[in-house]
Structure 1
Amino acid sequence: MKLYALSDLHLRYEHNQQALQSLAPHPDDWLIVAGDVGETREHLHFAWRTLTARFRQVIWVPGNHELWTVSREPGALRGEALYRQQVEDCRSFGVLTPEDPYPRWPGAGPHRVLVPLFLLYDYSFRPTYVAEKDAIQWAMDSDVLCTDEALLHPDPYPSRAAWCAARVEQTLARLEALPADCSTLLINHFPLRYEHVRLPRIPRFSIWCGTKKTEDWHRRFRAEVVVTGHLHMPATLWRDGVRFEEVSLGYPKQWTWRGDISVLLREILPGPSR
């Protein structure tokens, strides 16, 4: 029995849809989907129909793309209401979400708990000399502006940073209640540490990549592995003896040169040794 992970499926691209359908069955294994499945309800339904037929259990955390309100129809869901709809849709397919009880890993090994997170970002992944109020302009000065600023609405919170703060507070209460004898696998779309935001072409995009409030969570909550996406730069990194896995697929031009999608399906458990 193995635990795999993949993120940033971006199913608005037909090539990515076809690639997902080409995955071989893994009837005994679990799969983490670490966000950015797509932008519409249909994209997510396609993913869950495809993946729940191939894996024993699927676990999802939202990325920023899922939270975009792309419809201009009156009454289109936004913010928290859109996220809650996606949680209910996941549950109808048997997909676990950040709102469900954290599952214990049933495979071989010590007591491990899988922790799907939904934390967002608060513009704190920036140099200390840049004030929070100036962060977006600082990014724009290098011709960088995230589409979230137009399509990711924080309703009913006054800002994305406020929504992030609320999510962090809610999540901390749950993490602190975990048994002391378990290790964790922390799963989030956005990186948990600023140092892991490696974006050489657009470095100032970092402000849309996480929150410094999670910098020590890998130590504080006994993480064995931290699984994230968002950067479209797959990698295995180590910090304080903890394995950090960036598991993005990405846009077709970013991954097809690597070969078949199965090559990018990252094994989390048992996983590689250092």
Structure 2
Amino acid sequence: MRLFAVSDLHLGHEANREAMDDIRARPDDWLILAGDVAEKNDHIRFAFEHFGRKFKRLAWVPGNHELWTRPGTKIARGVDRYEELVSLAREYDVLTPEDAYPVLDLTDGPVRLCPLFLLYDYSFRPDDIRLEDAVAWARESGVLCSDEFFLSPRPFSSRGEWCRARVETTRTRLDALDDDLPTVLVSHWPLRRDVARTPRVPRFSIWCGTVETEEWHRRYRARAVVSGHIHIPSSRLIDGVRFEEVSFGYPKQWQGRRPHPDLAVREIVPE
């Protein structure tokens, strides 16, 4: 079997939903959906049903868009929203960050697949910018992430506090792994600051991860690290580890940079 990944499908856009028909079936292989599948549950269900028919099994991690809740709506917020999404995924037997990390027997050997939900804490900022000034510093360049309005951290006091709790919980689980198998670490937000660079909007980096995970690729024997969020697909080696940014993107992005939607689906740790 093989392992594939794609993120940032943004299925609220009709053109993106239509493009999913062009992603070919791989019934013997797994697919990672690395966050920002959609904002509405109906579109998330569409993804789980559509790709569940095309792949042997799906693994999913949330992005910020899945966690968005608009003021005045009755939808669950914060941790309750995340738990609602986990329950939705389990209806379709989709692997989530709350499930045991499975061992996959890939064509070139076994790996442990580790879906992670970590968020961000504004630490991807210059050393001379204080935490409390980070958002204002980003706004000086005309950048403001919609998370500031739509991503509730309830019951935590801030997204940074929620991030710290997620990092601590996840680190404990990873430290408890009792074998030396290589891992595939999957997070919507990049694990390293150098992977989170967005040249056109460099100050957007504060919404892209946490420095607490900078060394996790080495600490947890990663064969590959999969992420999305920044909408700049790339594949690079860092310390001998493959870092794969697998964003599909908004229609105006993918329609202009790839000849066929299926090319967005990236094989992870190929032979």
TM-score (norm. length: structure 2): 0.97
How far residue 188 of structure 1 moved from its aligned partner, in angstroms, is: 0.2
Q: Which runs of 5+ in 1 are unaligned?
A: none
Instruction: Identify the range of structure 1 (186-195 vs 19-28) with the bigger mean alpha-carbon deviation.
Output: 19-28
Matches within 5 A, 1:171-210: 171-210=170-209
* CA distances 1:168-191 after superposition (whole Å, capped 9, x unpaired): 000011000112321100000001
Return the alpha-carbon distance in structure 2 between the equivalents of residues 27 and 200 of structure 1.
Answer: 37
8 A contact 1:111–1:181 mirrored in 2: no
Does 2:120 align with 1:121?
yes
* 1:200 counterpart letter in structure 2: P
What's the secondary structure of 1:172's corresponding residue? helix
Return the alpha-carbon distance in structure 1 between the equivalents of residues 262 and 17 of structure 2.
Answer: 13
* 2:41 counterpart letter in structure 1: R
User: What residue in structure 2 maps to residue 69 of structure 1?
Assistant: 69
8 A contact 1:39–1:70 mirrored in 2: no
What RMSD over aligned residues (CA atoms) do the two structures have, in Å? 1.1
Return the alpha-carbon distance in structure 2 between the equivalents of residues 71 and 247 of structure 1.
Answer: 30
How far residue 162 of structure 1 moved from its aligned partner, in angstroms, is: 0.3
8 A contact 2:223–2:269 mirrored in 1: no
User: What residue in structure 2 maps to residue 55 of structure 1?
Assistant: 55
How far residue 224 of structure 1 moved from its aligned partner, in angstroms, is: 0.6
Return the alpha-carbon distance in structure 1 between the equivalents of residues 45 and 75 of structure 2.
Answer: 18
* 1:230 counterpart letter in structure 2: H
8 A contact 1:123–1:161 mirrored in 2: yes
* CA distances 1:11-56 after superposition (whole Å, capped 9, x unpaired): 0111100111222211101000000001111110111010101000
Matches within 5 A, 1:1-274: 1-70=1-70, 72-73=72-73, 75-257=74-256, 258-270=258-270
8 A contact 1:144–1:205 mirrored in 2: yes
Percent identity over paired residues: 52
How far residue 71 of structure 1 moved from its aligned partner, in angstroms, is: 6.3
Return the alpha-carbon distance in structure 2 between the equivalents of residues 72 and 17 of structure 1.
Answer: 27
What's the secondary structure of 1:98's corresponding residue? coil
* CA distances 1:163-218 after superposition (whole Å, capped 9, x unpaired): 00000000011000112321100000001000112211110000000000000000
Return the alpha-carbon distance in structure 2 between the equivalents of residues 76 and 22 of structure 1.
Answer: 32
Runs of 4+ in 1 over 2 A off after TM superposition: 70-73, 106-111
Q: Across the two proteins, how many residue pairs are aligned to each other?
A: 270
Return the alpha-carbon distance in structure 1 between the equivalents of residues 137 and 239 of structure 2.
Answer: 31
Return the alpha-carbon distance in structure 2 between the equivalents of residues 132 and 70 of structure 1.
Answer: 25
Return the alpha-carbon distance in structure 1 between the equivalents of residues 104 and 212 of structure 2.
Answer: 26
- Provide closer, same or farther for how the CA distance between residues 194 and 223 of structure 1 changes in structure 2, counting only shifts above 3 A: same
Q: Which runs of 5+ in 2 are unaligned?
A: none
Return the alpha-carbon distance in structure 2 between the equivalents of residues 251 and 45 of structure 1.
Answer: 19
TM-score (norm. length: structure 1): 0.96
How far residue 84 of structure 1 moved from its aligned partner, in angstroms, is: 0.5
* 2:114 counterpart letter in structure 1: V
How far residue 2 of structure 1 moved from its aligned partner, in angstroms, is: 1.2
